[in-house]
A and B are shown apart, each in its own frame.
Chain A
Amino acid sequence: MKCVLVATEGAEVLFYWTDEAFAESLRLKFGRSENEGEELPALEDQLSTLLAPVIISSMTMLEKLSDTYTCFSTENGDYLYVLHLFGECLFVAINGDHTEDEGDLRQKLCVLKYLFEVHFGLVTVDGQLVRKELRPPDRERRVQVWEHFQSLLRTYGRLREREQCFAVEAVERLIHPQLCELCIEALERHVIQAVNSSPERAGEEALHAFLLVHSKLLAFYSSHSASSLRPADLLALILLVQDRYPSESTAEDDDPQETDSFSLPEEYFTPAPSPGEQSSGSTVWLDEGTPPTDAPQIAEDTLQMLVPHSPVASGPRRIFLDASVKESHCPMVPHTAYCLPLWPGINMVLLTKSPGSPLALVLCQLLDAFSLLEKKLKEGQEAGTTLRSHPLMGDLRQRMDKFVKNRGGQEIQSTWLEFKSKAFSRSEPGSSWELLQACGKVKRQLCAIYRLSFLTTAPGRGGPHLPQQLQDKVQSIMQEKLTDWKDFLLVKSRRNVTMVSYPHARAPRLVHFIYVDRTTGQMVAPSLSSSKRISSELGRGPLATFIRTKVWSLIRLARRYLQKGYATLLFREGDFCFSYFLWFENEMGYKLQIIEVPVLSDDSTCIGVLGGDYYRKLLRYYSKSHPAEAVKCHELLALHLSVIPTDVLVQQAGELARRLWETSRLPLL
């Protein structure tokens, strides 16, 4: 019984998603009350009818009390409602089957909002414009858009339930240094360089290329000129690929026995350095990872997910990612993503930058400045006089004048003139309310330009993109390079790192662990599979499933306590003992003193990467007190049998962390 709804202040549905059980309950509800023979109202209308009172009440509360609902729970927690207001849109998530807690639901909403941003970029800043994108007047198109996001939500739910990397929101790599090196070389030469030197590339510039085996990263190469890709963005891309080419349908694996020969510990602990790559300034990623866990509990979501996708989904897609443009950081820079399937389960992703990215930077900066201005106007009620003398205003005026001159455009010109007359006129300065209005109009115009430049002409809608032959060529080269490795990779991805790699003699009673480097956004964990066909050390079936639920609940608990500022946890529950550690260190591995981690309210955006990028903020916060050095953040979650004495547990955890640190450090040398 799950449902997600995005609505405007006026309770207009911008997006919804329900699972089959929820849809069925709606059908029952409305089927009963309607007359026989009469057609049931559309699902969106049913939802809007049901939830309108809550949405409107929530807006009324906000207006009258400057406070609004964040959560409802019914007796025994049967139903849980989480509400989150992003800008002018209210996001509502409902769960009626105890499978998700408040944190999960809020995270789902944050991820959905992030997916909107990835797809629509800065257009999401403006409520009216994003409405046009999310709820196109054309019914068919609307269905397409909604189906796309519904499918993404289902995929996200499935990945979060099954994959450790999505549970902790960090990228998991396939561990195979030699192969990784080979791939990086191929990506560099035969993909990035090949595309960028091609005369047919239509102004597109290839920036990043990477290989995914299921949801694990095999190799990643970035061109010289590219800025690094955020872990959150990489995760979002993996999500998009998994959505388009779900790995469930792939031939699972051939022979599980075979894997063991490849997952020997020494293989993991001696990753080969990749000498060629550092010189070119690219990021070299070693591989590693855990198997995706196709579970016995295949939800109906999954089955639906396997249904062929709408045409929107195929072909290159416009996405907006964080990047540095001309030395300055800019959120939501337009990119084009090409997902090139090599074999089922193995995909290559190519990211290109369109020539328009400088424009995105300018627009972004202008929008930022206007937002700041808006905030000041709302807060201080400063009249135009004081604002005019504000240094920010002078700068903004200059840049805006320049922008308007270069871009031309009737509407933006007149809007800007109107604003100037209100803000800078000496004779009759506008009131702050008038200024706010004018400010809003300018912002909308800027957003409209952004939309026109990057969305209306998106590659998915016939905008410029790499020609098909070029894509095909790149694809076949990579297929050729990897053809001998294909089967190995598919198996390897399931049994990436095994507990065998961590000799039990050293860590008796250790059941499982997850080690995360939050600076790079990568994780290492023994494979944890509940698949019927693949067994891990935990075996298959009930025990493995049980351990999985324990690990997942540990992740949940750790997240909740971190939200409340606790960086170290030790729990004993039943037969298990959970421990969680978060610490900071410098480049050399010297452990830095822990600081007060900010205490967040229950309704704050969640502790995660995809929706909120918590760890990046945390690192920035910590770095303030350590301006001189590069700060790294690590997490270790461990699951022990509860018979272990605390001191032994802590010692084991420390040793484990040290060993993992050594190995994760090697590729950077």
Chain B
Amino acid sequence: LLTTRHRPGCVTSDLPLYSSPAPDFAAFPQTLLDQQELLCGQIAGVVRCISDISASAPALVRLRKLKFAVKVDGEFLWVLGCAVELPDISCKQFLDQLIGVFNFYNGPVSLAYKNCSQEDLRAEWDTFIEQILKNTGDLHKIFSSLWNLDRTQVEPLLLLKAALILQTCQRSPHVLAGCILYKGLIVSTQLPPSLTAKVLIHPAASRHQPCPCCFVILGAALPPNVRIMPVFLTEEEATSLREFPREQAASPAAAPARLQQCSAQQPPHPRSTGAPTDNATGHVEPMAWMLAATPESACPDVAWPDGKGENGHLPGCDLENVKPAKLHSPPRDEGPGLGSSLVKELHLPWGEEEPDLSAIHIPEAQETETSSGYFALPSTGAPDGGGPCFEEFVRDSGDPAPESRDAPPVVMAISSVLSPSTPEMLSQNGALEQHDDLPGDSSQAPFPREDHLPGRTSRPRSWPCSDLRQRGTALPEGEQGVERSVGAHDSCSAPGGSALPESQDDNGPSADRRDPGLAPASCMGLVPTNLYTHSVNGLVLSLLAEEPLRGDDAAIEEVYHSSLASLNGLEVHLKETLPKDAAASPSRTYNFTHYDRIQNVLTANLPQTATPQDRRFLRAVSLMHSDFAQLPALYEMTVRNASTAVYACCSPAQETYFQQLAAAARSSGFPSPQDGAFSLPGKARQKLLKHGVNLL
């Protein structure tokens, strides 16, 4: 099979016509060198020519036996060759993904090729390609999906535990968000899919220290199995990450559920979020995540089934105020749904003096199991509580919809502030970090360590609810937004009310403070960040952190120690519980594939080696997937040829494909109700329920 046809290459220089300008091929494993040069020169020439005529560069160049996704990036040209069977759209996504990975680890391509030797970069490409080829199955190629652990095979509690580890790490200074991988597969992630994709692929171990330009050699101070390397986020990613923890850390316990739920909540948002690299939606996506995450926490039952979080509690107040509030336990006010959410978020630290995750024992977890297991299945559709909760949120929290719609301007505003690095940059980093970590900090409050950063007292003003509103003030509708914000505060809490004007004042400068942190990003729209990875055998914890982490030994230590024990435990559990061999279910009677468009992950029951019938399934899937991508109103398809029939349906959040393997009685193709092809939808609904796929 043509599984190894990936040929990324990039051509330097001015794309002259008809000549091969000393091409820098990163990896062209299958083509002969002179053919590479030829292809390179010809395609570069053709791209130039087409750009001339059409005023936009070709995105796809197809030959009879090959197709190339093309991306023009300044003076560089990215070209990825794929087998011609791969859908056009997947080919383009694949290239975007590869470019993303390259930029993530090496920074802007122009810089990378200036600073690093081509040898090094070639080696790096080889590693990337090798990993991709090793892990990318046929289905993954079609959907450009992430490599995830089959969640049905994992004890739900372990997923919860992984999520909690991430939560804990997030509370350490500098850390933004992260994900946990086991043997290269996602166990849990807090990152948006486009970013998870980049973390999934990692440079070779040898890259740990070499190329001084790209990877800074760190002192030997790092704990074993840990490395920290500089990586580069796109501005959208950086913005979303810095927004994320506020909401995220707001409710540590509910987080795993929320993460799963994001997918279910997403549908109201543009369906194009399925395309991770779409710039237009790139801004919207993070907002969507946030909005989806916040309302969820408004549902006590879903978030914290044991009901411990029910204590009514006024949010938005200073820590000193919080504790008394808890003691008073006033009757919960139904109105501000967010209020109760904040309680939950604070619950864990208080309920157990030590937030040690290993303290979560199975017995206690039994109660949560049902719900966590439930959420562990990606996008089973909106859980019962999800819909109403969201609506409630919409009603309660004023007017979030315009906010999300207007999100791009906000993001733009932030990014447009980006100026070439200012002198105060370093000195302000602390402040920036502090600002970003606000919610996390508040939950950290009980820990002695937390006061190592200055200026914390003003922090609580930025609790999620007000934060959301304050951003409203940045919107063009201005005053209205302020009013709403005031109203929200009034209804939410009395104690913190006096802080309101300050908090508004605070909001303005905070944007400025953020600016220096982003400033180094001025290297071509990329934001330097650190990637902290800690591997325990097959298990890898990857955390994205603000740059100062590298120099902050104490912070590194904290992250390391807070996660070490639980990582070890998780690794052992995963190793023990995961089926050793994917002993394909002995007799499949059907094939299915369920694609989560939001999280970009797949659930499928296809075996490693495809039978002819499986290949027919794959072919149908790739065709239908392209059509689903192109025709937004299309939601159901049945296609049939002489040997197979495949049924597919899709919603803004998911795509599902189903094929029955039993040899159907051959029909004539004449429309007949007896024809088995037309009963596929019913069968799919029935059979897929046990995989957690609900098509009803």
Interface residues of B in 53-96 (CB under 8 A from A): 53-54, 56-66, 84, 88
Is A17 among interface residues, defined by CB-CB distance under 8 A? no
Which one, B118-126, B247-255, B390-398, B632-640, is touching chain A?
Answer: B632-640
Contact B57 A74 (CB under 8 A): yes
Q: Which of A96, A573, A636, A654 contacts B634 (CB 8 A)?
A: A573
A650-B673 contact, Cβ under 8 Å, with A61-B42, A74-B57? yes
Contact B681 A583 (CB under 8 A): no
Which residues from A are CB-within-8-Å of B39?
65
Which residues from A are CB-within-8-Å of B48?
53
Contact B637 A584 (CB under 8 A): no
Q: Which of B18, B88, B638, B667 contacts A57 (CB 8 A)?
A: B18
A67-B61 contact, Cβ under 8 Å, with A569-B637, A593-B666, A650-B673? no
| Measured CA separation A208–B618 after assembly (Å) | 49
- With CB as the reference atom, state the residue of chain A lying closest to B616: A565
Q: Which of A79, A566, A581, A585 contacts B50 (CB 8 A)?
A: A79
Contact A54 B639 (CB under 8 A): no
A79-B641 contact, Cβ under 8 Å, with A70-B64, A584-B668? no
Which residues from B are CB-within-8-Å of A584?
668-669
Q: Mark A48-71, 1 if CB is under 8 A from B, else 0.
A: 001101101100110011011111
Contact A51 B669 (CB under 8 A): no
Q: Mark B338-366, 1 if CB is under 8 A from A, else 0.
A: 00000000000000000000000000000
Contact A67 B668 (CB under 8 A): no
Q: Which of A94, A565, A594 contacts B668 (CB 8 A)?
A: A594
- With CB as the reference atom, state the residue of chain A lying closest to B50: A72
| Measured CA separation A68–B39 after assembly (Å) | 11
A603-B633 contact, Cβ under 8 Å, with A65-B38, A596-B641? no
Q: How far is the CB of B393 from chain A (nearest CB, A)?
A: 30
| Measured CA separation A599–B668 after assembly (Å) | 18
Contact B643 A596 (CB under 8 A): yes
Contact B668 A73 (CB under 8 A): no
Contact A601 B84 (CB under 8 A): yes
- With CB as the reference atom, state the residue of chain A lying closest to B71: A75
| Measured CA separation A57–B47 after assembly (Å) | 11
| Measured CA separation A319–B677 after assembly (Å) | 46
Contact B634 A57 (CB under 8 A): no
Contact A53 B17 (CB under 8 A): yes
- With CB as the reference atom, state the residue of chain B lying closest to A50: B53
Contact A594 B58 (CB under 8 A): no
Is A619 among interface residues, defined by CB-CB distance under 8 A? no
Which residues from A are CB-within-8-Å of B636?
570-572
Q: Mark B393-434, 1 if CB is under 8 A from A, else 0.
A: 000000000000000000000000000000000000000000
Is B214 among interface residues, defined by CB-CB distance under 8 A? no
A68-B631 contact, Cβ under 8 Å, with A50-B52, A54-B50, A591-B668? no
- With CB as the reference atom, state the residue of chain A lying closest to B633: A574
Q: Mark A591-635, 1 if CB is under 8 A from B, else 0.
A: 111111101011100000000000000000000000000000000
Contact B49 A573 (CB under 8 A): no
| Measured CA separation A427–B387 after assembly (Å) | 91
Contact A68 B60 (CB under 8 A): no
Contact B678 A571 (CB under 8 A): no
Which residues from A are CB-within-8-Å of B645?
568
- With CB as the reference atom, state the residue of chain A lying closest to B668: A591
Q: How far is the CB of B423 from chain A (nearest CB, A)?
A: 40
Q: Which of B46, B63, B678 contacts A647 (CB 8 A)?
A: B678
Contact A78 B641 (CB under 8 A): no
Contact B54 A96 (CB under 8 A): yes
Which residues from B are CB-within-8-Å of A60?
38, 42
Contact B54 A572 (CB under 8 A): no
Is B35 among interface residues, defined by CB-CB distance under 8 A? yes
Contact A603 B62 (CB under 8 A): yes
Contact A571 B634 (CB under 8 A): yes
| Measured CA separation A582–B60 after assembly (Å) | 32
Contact B45 A567 (CB under 8 A): no
Size of B's binding interface in residues, CB under 8 A: 56
Is A375 among interface residues, defined by CB-CB distance under 8 A? no
- With CB as the reference atom, state the residue of chain B lying closest to A571: B637
Q: Which of A72, A581, A582 contacts B58 (CB 8 A)?
A: A72
Q: Which of B52, B84, B666 contacts A602 (CB 8 A)?
A: B84
Is B675 among interface residues, defined by CB-CB distance under 8 A? yes
Which residues from A are CB-within-8-Å of B54?
74, 78-79, 96
Is B672 among interface residues, defined by CB-CB distance under 8 A? yes
A565-B669 contact, Cβ under 8 Å, with A53-B45, A75-B57? no
Is B627 among interface residues, defined by CB-CB distance under 8 A? yes
Which residues from A are CB-within-8-Å of B53?
50-51, 79, 94
Contact B623 A561 (CB under 8 A): yes
| Measured CA separation A33–B49 after assembly (Å) | 16
Contact B35 A65 (CB under 8 A): yes
Contact A67 B64 (CB under 8 A): yes
Which residues from B are CB-within-8-Å of A594?
641-642, 666-669
Which residues from B are CB-within-8-Å of A51?
49, 53
Contact B18 A53 (CB under 8 A): yes
Which residues from B are CB-within-8-Å of A79?
50, 53-54, 56, 58
Which residues from B are CB-within-8-Å of A579?
671
Q: How far is the CB of A230 from chain B (nearest CB, A)?
A: 24
Contact B671 A636 (CB under 8 A): yes
| Measured CA separation A53–B675 after assembly (Å) | 52
Contact B638 A569 (CB under 8 A): yes
| Measured CA separation A646–B84 after assembly (Å) | 34
Contact A570 B62 (CB under 8 A): no
| Measured CA separation A361–B631 after assembly (Å) | 49
| Measured CA separation A56–B18 after assembly (Å) | 9
- With CB as the reference atom, state the residue of chain A lying closest to B65: A67
Contact B640 A568 (CB under 8 A): yes
Contact A583 B678 (CB under 8 A): no
- With CB as the reference atom, state the residue of chain B lying closest to A71: B62
Which residues from B are CB-within-8-Å of A601?
64, 84
| Measured CA separation A72–B46 after assembly (Å) | 10
Contact B631 A573 (CB under 8 A): yes
Contact B668 A53 (CB under 8 A): no
Q: Mark A543-576, 1 if CB is under 8 A from B, else 0.
A: 0000000000000010001001111111111100
Which residues from A are CB-within-8-Å of B668?
583-585, 591-594
Is A651 among interface residues, defined by CB-CB distance under 8 A? yes
Contact B670 A654 (CB under 8 A): yes
Is A81 among interface residues, defined by CB-CB distance under 8 A? yes
Which residues from B are CB-within-8-Å of A78?
54, 56
A569-B673 contact, Cβ under 8 Å, with A50-B52, A69-B46, A71-B60? no
Contact B667 A72 (CB under 8 A): no
A564-B46 contact, Cβ under 8 Å, with A67-B66, A570-B638, A594-B668? no
Contact A654 B671 (CB under 8 A): yes
Contact A81 B63 (CB under 8 A): no
| Measured CA separation A237–B58 after assembly (Å) | 38
Is A272 among interface residues, defined by CB-CB distance under 8 A? no
Other A-B pairs beyond A71-B62, A646-B681, 16, CB < 8 Å: A51-B53, A57-B49, A70-B62, A71-B60, A71-B61, A74-B58, A79-B56, A566-B641, A568-B639, A568-B677, A573-B631, A581-B671, A584-B668, A592-B668, A650-B675, A651-B671
A-B pairs with lowest CB-CB distance, top 8: A591-B668, A653-B671, A583-B669, A79-B54, A574-B633, A594-B669, A572-B636, A568-B640
Partner-B contacts on A (CB < 8 A): 50-51, 53-54, 56-57, 60-61, 64-65, 67-75, 78-79, 81, 94, 96, 557, 561, 564-574, 579, 581-585, 591-597, 599, 601-603, 636, 646-647, 650-651, 653-654, 657
Partner-A contacts on B (CB < 8 A): 17-18, 35, 38-39, 42, 45-46, 48-50, 52-54, 56-66, 84, 88, 619-620, 623, 627, 631, 633-643, 645, 666-673, 675, 677-678, 681
Complex A-B: 26 CB contacts under 8 Å: A53-B46, A57-B45, A61-B63, A65-B35, A67-B64, A70-B64, A71-B61, A72-B50, A75-B56, A79-B53, A94-B53, A564-B623, A569-B640, A573-B635, A574-B634, A579-B671, A583-B668, A591-B670, A596-B641, A596-B642, A601-B64, A601-B84, A603-B64, A646-B678, A651-B671, A651-B673
